[in-house]
Structure 1
């Protein structure tokens, strides 16, 4: 946690009367505590007269185009409120940058457990498969949502999702580039030439679906809420599945912990083929094609995100003290992607 008086603090004196006016039932005084995570959009827990809320804002400073889209997060949370996908309740979006210096929104506080290590060392071995089953079923439920039926039919662009995403994250990477990294250059050449030409019916894609963006119930292996919808859009659902499965290939030590080299059977963690089989069964799919491309793209996108964090850290605008450590992930992530190129 960080102090309220940090460079990324909230102006509580301006925020409190604004929320009292715009959020029914909200009453000061307010105590704000910044969550330790949130590399992209700084996030605070607000304690106000016995009630708890979560505030998520854009970071200060110059932002990359289309990045830090808290207004999109608010929209998708609102749309999913009446679906089987577990999410926090979206209470209020403020687009007046004069209040605290940037766009922000307020949502419900969802108590529960967040795991940072996909080995799930905090729970009994025999329960870990059930946790993973809940994760996969939550992802499948998200991809079964009909975007049109929840008012998100225009939430993404038409056309080849992976092609657009490769172009987008290449531009984002170039905009934040601080040095030449050979594996990233190799990916920038390889990915456009190997994009799948077939696109399934567009689904709502989370864009950052990993274990630390999930809140689990305190007393059961059940996903209570999916967090961090900044990168959500309409697109190819296999992007989410591959992004989650990166945890099986990431090193067991590092800023983002993975399961590479771990004995998953001893841990009680399902193998990749088991995860894919469950997902296919839930969605009625016969198989999954272009899997190596999906994985390589996922590593590339995460590396591009890490590069953005690195650039903000060098500018003094990063939202976390760990930003420089995140920046050091760029080349290792690109090298993991290179292993998948054929």
Structure 2
């Protein structure tokens, strides 16, 4: 196996792939796939040229329910024949003795992963088409009959945001890395202002540009990836997660706030939400800033967890300390959204 830095045991992995009918007698090459603070991910190439992606839990002590690759595998397998594009699932192994932690193997998608939401190098029409397609796919996800595809027990129905706030607050408080004052304020404020517009659909939980694989040349999503935070939940909370990008400056983290969006061909936040409303029939405006406050808090809590893993020495990415440090500024943006929500309800 090439690339010893992968830390994958060559013989054990090759034997496993052969047993699954996914490889011949020759060697298996492994390459670390870039991106993400989450589950270690590798591209595998077997002797006949076939390529796969292997995704596994990180090593070390993990927070409860974190890095649920079994759920990732289950949801993508369930979505195979729906309008939501996902890679084909090929094998799942819960025997930690083989590679150190449980893992799964899926189809490798030869396409584009676009990391920068300003889409540099594209013309305005191309950018507009990419954003339209992202909107189409998240609307399609929220239209899936989750019970019909075997996911009726994939999560609890109702009170998704309340349960999420409690979960992430608990994880923040259990961590040894201290939280910021804005995080404390949000943990107090969010449970007391939960909207009553409850609805349950399948939600991705981490839907954003760089978790999508686009066709090599067309503005078409061929795969939605990174489902570890997926569950049954509120569709507007899921949409608002993606729409945080319009509130976050690029210098902070993965945002487009402050850019000349019309010149770039990128829709405004209001236009993007309106597309979704037109497709789904849902109305987002009444509690929109609450859902943004919630998501900025949740993202800050996730980054706080990355800071904790960096301190504990088991983070999946080398830049975990820098990434974890962004939790505080994101919480500040969340508190600003909470204040806008309160001002708009007076």
> Which TM-score applies when normalising by structure 2?
0.94
State the match for 1:109 in structure 2.
Answer: 108
2:274 to 273, 277, 283: 277
Q: For each residue in 1:215-257, what CA deviation from the matched residue of structure 2 results, as whole angstroms up to 9, or x when unmatched?
A: 1111111111111000000010111110101111111124x32
User: Contact 2:172–2:179 at 8 Å: present in 1 too?
Assistant: no
Q: For each residue in 1:79-123, what CA deviation from the matched residue of structure 2 results, as whole angstroms up to 9, or x when unmatched?
A: 000101001111111000000110100000001111111111132
Matches within 5 A, 1:58-69: 58-69=57-68
1:267 to 264, 268, 271: 264
Matches within 5 A, 1:51-130: 51-130=50-129
Residues 1:208 and 2:206 are matched in the alignment: yes
Shift of 1:177: 4.2
Give the gaps of 5 or more residues in structure 1.
none
**In structure 2, how many angstroms separate the alpha carbons of the residues matched to 1:65 and 1:301?**
16
State the match for 1:40 in structure 2.
Answer: 38
**In structure 1, how many angstroms separate the alpha carbons of the residues matched to 2:38 and 2:68?**
10
User: Contact 1:36–1:320 at 8 Å: present in 2 too?
Assistant: no
**In structure 2, how many angstroms separate the alpha carbons of the residues matched to 1:10 and 1:286?**
48
Shift of 1:171: 1.4
Residues 1:335 and 2:317 are matched in the alignment: no
Residues 1:13 and 2:22 are matched in the alignment: no
**In structure 1, how many angstroms separate the alpha carbons of the residues matched to 2:163 and 2:25?**
44
**In structure 1, how many angstroms separate the alpha carbons of the residues matched to 2:26 and 2:281?**
50
Shift of 1:29: 0.8
Give the alignment's Cα RMSD to 1 decimal: 1.4
1:291 to 282, 288, 292: 288
Count of residue pairs the alignment pairs up: 337
**In structure 2, how many angstroms separate the alpha carbons of the residues matched to 1:194 and 1:286?**
19
Give the gaps of 5 or more residues in structure 2.
none
**In structure 2, how many angstroms separate the alpha carbons of the residues matched to 1:29 and 1:325?**
37
State the match for 2:240 in structure 1.
Answer: 242
Q: For each residue in 1:274-320, what CA deviation from the matched residue of structure 2 results, as whole angstroms up to 9, or x when unmatched?
A: 11111011112245431111001111111111111111111111111
User: Contact 1:27–1:48 at 8 Å: present in 2 too?
Assistant: no
User: Contact 2:123–2:265 at 8 Å: present in 1 too?
Assistant: no
2:28 to 27, 30, 33: 30
User: Contact 2:17–2:23 at 8 Å: present in 1 too?
Assistant: no
Deviates more, 1:283-292 or 1:145-154: 283-292
Cα 1:322/1:65, change in 2 over 3 Å: same
**In structure 2, how many angstroms separate the alpha carbons of the residues matched to 1:116 and 1:248?**
15
